Amino acid sequence: MRPILFLVFAAFGAYSLYVVWQLGYVGLWQACMANIGTWQLLTDFVIMSFLVLGYMARDARRTGRKLWPYAVITVAAGSFGPLLYLLLAPRKAEARLGREATA
């Protein structure tokens, strides 16, 4: 699972850097608010971010990890927070998640 997460993180990171280079950070947000369709996508993004933050908070309490760095990244840069949270998870937690997924 970790190699796939790393690949997604790297590919999406490269694409995101390109978009910010082309539009700028503020320009990206302005594009997100350009019309009713982009507002819908932005609202969906915000809802999903809070749902994922809830999952990460519960998991961080259970595993003793710090949530705040990933929460800050999630609020500022979206998917990069949860991707880093999963990428930097201790190996023991990864093995446990694999067992839970097959059960």
pLDDT at 94 over 60: no
Measured CA distances, 66 to 40, 88, 89 (Å): 31, 11, 11
Where do we find the tokens 């190699």? 3
CA 39 to chain centre: 19
End-to-end CA distance of the chain: 17
Q: What is the pLDDT of residue 1?
A: 84
| pLDDT per position as a tens digit, 46-59 | 999 999 999 999 99
What is the per-residue pLDDT for 29? 86
Question: Can you tell me the distance from the alpha carbon of 51 to that of 90, in angstroms, rounded to the nearest whole number?
Answer: 22
User: What global pTM score does this model have?
Assistant: 0.77
Q: How far is the C-alpha of 83 from the C-alpha of 13, rounded, in Å? A: 11
How do the domains of the chain map onto residue ranges? Answer: 2-102
Q: pLDDT tens digits, residue range 61-77?
A: 999 999 999 999 999 88
Structure tokens, 73: 């990244």
